[in-house]
Amino acid sequence: MAETFLQTQKAHAPGRHQRSGQRSDYRGYPDDGMPWGQNGWESGVAPPAPAGLALTTLTPTTGVVFVEAALTITGSGFVTGAVAYTGAIAMTNTVVVSPTSITCSFLPTAAMSYDITVHNPDAQVSNALVFTSTAAQEDVLDGTIDDVKAYVNGLANNDFRDDIIQNLLDRERANRNRATLVTWLDQQTGVT
């Protein structure tokens, strides 16, 4: 806490207070010379610290291996120059939209969960949110029909959704030709 010195203030003229007569008023002044009460310091309590760097939401939270995801991160304490990270790798195209919102691009390279953090230029590091990447489409058709449906449903925010579904449909027809899956995939093309 800043050291203070005491300075005697002259009392206000009689009649300006409910009490009359002279009085002495001693106020502590912090090192910055600003009287308490004018800078938020009242009764010796330091001003609140600025809001810390914290993440609250990540959109989307899932993606597909080798398909770039456009992420929106919300939270608090973002400053100009903040960068989104996954592990020790900076994400491309990080843009600080506001002190509570960041956008960036992320290209997952494996089917796994990734911790997403934000680093401010002053070395503050946020808490982590999780982004989960699912298997590449080459592996999807090896799973059950329910696995394929879950994969396709996870493509909801992907710009290449219809192309990926068409590729899956063509490969399913050529390799396994599970009638119920072919019908379902065909119905998903163009559905958002």
Residue among 155, 173, 175, 174 at smallest CA distance from 165? 155
Close Cβ partners of 63 (under 8 Å, ≥ 6 residues apart): 69, 106, 108, 131, 132, 133, 134, 154, 158
Nearest Cα neighbor of 184 from 154, 146, 155 is: 146
Confidence of residue 136 (pLDDT cuts 50, 70, 90): low
Q: Write out the two tokens for 141.
A: 């058709």
| 125 plus 154 within the same structural domain | no
pTM for the predicted model, two decimal places? 0.50
Q: In degrees, to the nearest 5, what angle opens at C-alpha 170 toward C-alphas 164 and 176?
A: 115
The alpha-helical segments, DSSP class H, found in the chain are 137-140, 145-153, 161-175, 179-188
Interval 60-102: pLDDT, tens: 998 877 778 889 999 999 999 999 999 889 987 899 999 999 9
What CATH number should be reported for the domain holding residue 65? 2.60.40.10
Pair 29, 61 in one domain: no
Could you tell me if 61 and 115 lie in one domain?
Answer: yes
CA dist list (Å): 164 to 93, 160, 167, 184: 24, 6, 5, 14
> Are 123 and 106 found together in one domain?
yes
Average pLDDT over residues 147-163: 78
Q: Are 158 and 129 in a shared domain?
A: no
pLDDT beyond 60 at 130? yes
Q: Which two tokens stand for residue 110?
A: 């494996």
What is the band of 37 on the pLDDT scale with cuts at 50, 70, 90? very low
User: Of 191, 151, 184, 147, whose CA–CA distance to 169 is shortest?
Assistant: 184
97/130 same-domain check:
yes
DSSP annotation of 47: P
Same structural domain, 129 and 143: no
The range of the structural domain enclosing residue 65 comes to: 54-134
d(CA 72, CA 58): 6
170's tokens: 């063509």
Domains in the chain, number: 3
Domain endpoint, select from 90, 110, 134: 134
Mean confidence (pLDDT) of the chain: 76
Could you identify the residue written with the tokens 């810390």? 52
Above 80 in pLDDT, residue 183? yes
Residues 93 and 119 in one domain: yes
